[in-house]
Structure 1
Amino acid sequence: MSAQTKIKKGTFQHVESELYAYHETRKEIVRLKNEILYSNSSADENVGGGKGNIPGDPTGRTAILLTSHKKLEQLQMIVDAIESVVERLTDDRKKLLRLRYWDKPQILTWDGIAAELHVSRRTAVNWRDEIVRAIAEKLGWR
């Protein structure tokens, strides 16, 4: 996590929005996987023909869908980046993430979060900046 890495303001805001939506994103991943795994509809590729000579492979088709679903792939990439950064954080920085992004309703200001962490407001904001930059870097966003 180099403090020198500069990212665009829009990227910073996007990463923050992904942090706010982290738990919903995980639920969406589970929903999409279940939809793929347990849907009965299979595309009929044999339009207007007789019986196809290729044996059906629902397991293979499901595996291909799971690995090639663009939205699922993107959401999983975001969650993986967040989790890989979070697992390397100190307990104080993890608490900062929880207080700032994941506790509902959000009632603490930066001053309140800093007081909870027993650090200055500037230190808390610097920690946030480092975390957001590390996630953006992990995602390859600039």
Structure 2
Amino acid sequence: MGALAYGLSKAAFKHIESEIYYYEDTLKEINRLKKEIMFDKGPVDESGVRSPEVGRPTERIATRLLTHKRLRNLEEITEAIQSAYSALSMDHQKVIHAKYWSKKRLSWDDVAIQCNMHRNTAMKLRKDVVNLIAEKIGWK
């Protein structure tokens, strides 16, 4: 059964898998963007001089954090991964760690061996994980 049998296109399935692989990097990028937004001192004019922004800096920072599209997208995917992960069984979590978050890039056969299960079971758990994340981000 392919990804389409679960209501997701192959491309969407692969995209979500990619997000799981790079989850830790995405968390780092979120922190970097937040710091960049929080410590931005305002716009720079043509001469390179910062023009002071009038108003409440805390509100201005909060607004920028909430309206930054890239930041919101990254947060949405990491929140979906976190939420799905916490709702999953120990077997699902073992598969996620072995396949996506291990320093070694294991084949599905190796994941199955490491998780003490049949390869088909590992592949089914993979589909469960990806589909749960897809539901949480509204792709399904």
Shorter-chain TM range is 0.7 to 0.9
Structure 1 spans left out of the alignment, 5+ residues: 45-53
| Higher RCO structure (Cα 8 Å, ≥6 apart) | 1
Question: Which residue is equivalent to 1:110?
Answer: 108
Question: Which residue is equivalent to 2:19?
Answer: 18
TM-fit CA distance, 1:84:
0.4
Question: Distance in 2 between the 1:110 and 1:130 partners?
Answer: 15
**TM-score, scaled to structure 1:** 0.84
- The one-letter code sitting in structure 2 at the alignment partner of 1:43 is P
Structure 1 vs Structure 2 CA RMSD: 1.8
Map 1:90-105 to 2 at 5 A: 90-105=89-104
- The one-letter code sitting in structure 1 at the alignment partner of 2:33 is L
Quote the sequence identity (%).
41
Question: Which residue is equivalent to 2:49?
Answer: none
**TM-score, scaled to structure 2:** 0.85
Question: Which residue is equivalent to 2:117?
Answer: 119
Aligned length: 129
TM-fit CA distance, 1:55:
5.1
TM-fit CA distance, 1:5:
3.9
SS of the aligned residue for 2:88 comes to coil
TM-fit CA distance, 1:105:
2.8
Question: Which residue is equivalent to 1:77?
Answer: 76
Structure 2 spans left out of the alignment, 5+ residues: 45-52
